[in-house]
């Protein structure tokens, strides 16, 4: 099937007439053709968003929220079909695909609910005849550049706050997962959003994304993806006077102290590292274990990992599917080879050798034992089913190791010691901290984002989303 861009409330062919095949990572079968759009397509979408902005801005929060609720209802009604398409396109399991779609429904409902929340403050003045108050106003047309690893949830968690606060949107989805965003556009279209409020242009980041960054009518850029691309976007966009929000990489540690329940801690490590094939910015990438329980923990981890079912993500008993693409597959295998040079391979370490999977990008869940915290595999984000196991003499050394990274997105500790848990919360350099739960996972009503090189700009999700998608106007109202 051939799909189109969504611009000004219509499905439009690309100006170039060119399309790109979209294939499944499970078997490389073509599942659709999507536009290879040009600057001209992107400019048309931006013009539509710019024209629609004044009218959308004038609507009440409640009127805008009603559209979000309608779109949520449509996504929810089609959650199983959309979740299945997500699984076929991206490779995560069917349970995860349907779950992600329903997560998008929750995000839309949450931000529709924000239509009833305060958006300003009344502040006492030193002059008894003056009333001072603040109000929030939208930025204007916003450019959204979204990744392939959460191809339903992340676009929605950017679009929903952008829309409820009165902005219009042009979104450039990841090349690898366009069909998921097509479903989102279809839901907004069916919900009856005014023309030009949401627009979607499929194509390469170097073309579509660059025009979003360079075009003066785009007032803000929200990006999720790799650090090199994010920093390049930040530099260009700030030079143009745009507001910028970046969510980038992670090298997330799980610290396991000697008082931990080993079976439960092993379960946390497995879920955090391998669900979604490790293709999460919040995935567990380093497990740091106190010496006293290291051997028992290691043995339990190996046993559980070797028992995992890797295969067709549409199968109900599959725990882990394929990497999303050939490039990602090759990148992960390259990091595994690096790991073999510096660490002890405890399990995995290669491709899944099963004839029914030989056309897909399947990698064995892999664990390395490392003695060198400075090894490349312990420093760089892998974005695959691979993690490093390290030992620490005590809590203090474990925290030092956990913080020894350029990233600071998510971190977790397993302990029954309340004092240690609180110390970890205070001492870890991470934007999101988990106690006795995995490093991955986020709820829509709370802020999402990291420290150091993991994030830049205001946080996403929750009530903090308003910080990026609006600006503050202070009003002095004098009575005469």
pLDDT digits (tens, 9 = 90+) for 153-190: 999 999 999 999 999 999 999 999 999 999 999 999 99
Whether the full predicted model's pTM is greater than 0.85, yes or no, is: yes
How would DSSP label each residue in 363-431?
B--EEEE-S-TTSHHHHS---SSEEEEEEESSHHHHHHHHH-SSEESEEEEE-S-HHHHHHHHHH---S
| Span 267-277, average pLDDT | 97
pLDDT digits (tens, 9 = 90+) for 27-71: 999 999 999 999 999 999 999 999 999 999 999 999 999 999 999
Per the rule left: phi > 0, alpha: psi between -120 and 50, beta: everything else, 325 is beta
- Mean pLDDT score of the chain, rounded to an integer? 97
Query: Would the pLDDT of 402 be above 90?
Result: yes
Residue 169 has a pLDDT of 98
Domain ranges of the chain: 5-248+454-478, 252-435
* CA angle in degrees (0–180, nearest 5) for 266-89-277: 15
- Res. 479: pLDDT tops 90: no
Alpha carbon distances (Å) from 98 to 4, 176, 361, 400, 445: 24, 18, 21, 38, 20
Which amino acids are annotated catalytic?
A: 247
pLDDT at 18 over 90: yes
User: Please, what's the largest Cα pairwise distance for the chain?
Assistant: 84
- Look at residue 222 in the predicted model and tell me its pLDDT: 98
Taking only the tens place, the pLDDT of each residue in 120-133 is 999 999 999 999 99
Task: Note whether 5-248+454-478 and 252-435 share their fold.
Answer: no
pLDDT band at 119 (very low <50, low <70, confident <90, very high): very high
pLDDT digits (tens, 9 = 90+) for 375-394: 999 999 999 999 999 999 99
- The tens digit of pLDDT for each residue in 419-466 reads 999 999 999 999 999 999 999 988 999 999 999 999 999 999 999 999
Distance CA 451, CA 431 (A): 5
The DSSP result for 42-85, as a single string, is HHHHHHHHHHHHHHHHHS-HHHHHHHHHHHHHHHHHTHHHHHHH
- Statement: 252-435 belongs to CATH 3.40.309.10: yes
Helix pair angle (61-77, 153-164), 10° resolution: 160
The fourth-level CATH superfamily of domain 5-248+454-478 is: Aldehyde Dehydrogenase; Chain A, domain 1 (3.40.605.10)
Average pLDDT over residues 193-220: 97
In angstroms, the CA 378 to CA 382 distance is 9
Output the pLDDT for position 480.
75
Give which of 206, 188, 187, 210 is closest to 197, Cα–Cα: 188
Write out pLDDT tens, residues 296-336.
Answer: 999 999 999 999 999 999 999 999 999 999 999 999 999 99
DSSP state letter for 459: P
Residue 405 pLDDT greater than 90, yes or no: yes
The predicted pLDDT at position 355 comes to 87
DSSP one-letter string for 142-199: EEEE--SSSTTHHHHHHHHHHHHTT-EEEEE--TT-HHHHHHHHHHHHHHTPPTTSEE
């Amino acid at each position: 099937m051939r799909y189109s861009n969504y611009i000004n409330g219509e499905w439009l062919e690309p100006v170039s007439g060119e399309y790109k095949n979209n294939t499944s990572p499970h078997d490389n079968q073509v599942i659709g053709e999507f536009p290879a759009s040009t600057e001209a397509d992107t400019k048309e979408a931006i013009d539509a968003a710019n024209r629609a902005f004044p009218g959308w801005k004038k609507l009440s929060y409640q009127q805008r929220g009603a559209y979000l609720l309608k779109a949520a209802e449509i996504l929810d009604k089609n959650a199983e079909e959309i979740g299945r398409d997500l699984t076929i396109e991206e490779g995560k399991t069917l349970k995860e695909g349907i779950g992600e779609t329903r997560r998008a429904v929750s995000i839309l409902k949450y931000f529709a609910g924000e239509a009833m929340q305060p958006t300003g403050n009344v502040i006492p003045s030193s002059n008894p005849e003056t009333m001072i108050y603040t109000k929030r106003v939208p930025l204007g047309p916003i450019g959204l550049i979204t990744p392939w690893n959460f191809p339903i949830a992340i676009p929605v968690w950017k679009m929903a706050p952008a829309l409820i606060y009165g902005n219009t949107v042009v979104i450039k989805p990841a090349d690898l997962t366009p069909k998921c965003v097509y479903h989102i556009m279809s839901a907004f279209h069916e919900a009856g959003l005014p023309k030009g409020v949401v627009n979607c242009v499929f194509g390469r980041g170097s073309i579509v994304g660059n025009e979003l960054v360079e075009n003066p009518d785009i007032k803000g850029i929200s990006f999720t993806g790799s650090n090199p691309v994010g920093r390049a976007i930040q530099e260009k966009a700030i030079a143009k006077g745009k507001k910028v929000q970046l969510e980038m990489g992670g090298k997330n540690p799980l610290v396991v102290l000697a008082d931990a329940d080993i079976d439960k801690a092993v379960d946390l490590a497995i879920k955090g590292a391998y669900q979604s094939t490790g293709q999460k910015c919040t995935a567990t990438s380093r497990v740091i274990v106190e010496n006293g329980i290291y051997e028992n923990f290691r043995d339990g981890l190996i046993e559980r990992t070797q028992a995992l079912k890797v295969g067709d993500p549409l199968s109900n008993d599959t725990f882990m599917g394929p990497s999303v693409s050939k490039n990602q597959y090759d990148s992960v295998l390259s990091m595994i080879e690096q790991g073999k040079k510096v660490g002890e391979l405890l399990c995995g370490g290669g491709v899944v050798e099963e004839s029914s999977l030989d056309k897909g990008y399947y990698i064995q869940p892999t664990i390395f034992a490392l003695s060198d915290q400075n090894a490349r595999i312990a420093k760089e984000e892998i974005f695959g089913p691979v993690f490093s196991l390290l030992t620490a003499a005590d809590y203090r050394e474990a925290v030092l190791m956990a913080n020894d990274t350029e990233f600071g997105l998510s971190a977790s500790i397993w302990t029954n010691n309340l004092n240690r848990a609180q110390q970890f919360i205070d001492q870890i350099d991470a934007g999101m901290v988990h106690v006795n739960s995995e490093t991955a996972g986020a709820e829509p009503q709370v802020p999402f984002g990291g420290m150091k090189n993991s994030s830049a700009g205001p946080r996403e999700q929750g009530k903090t989303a308003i910080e990026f998608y609006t600006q503050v106007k202070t009003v002095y109202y004098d009575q005469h």
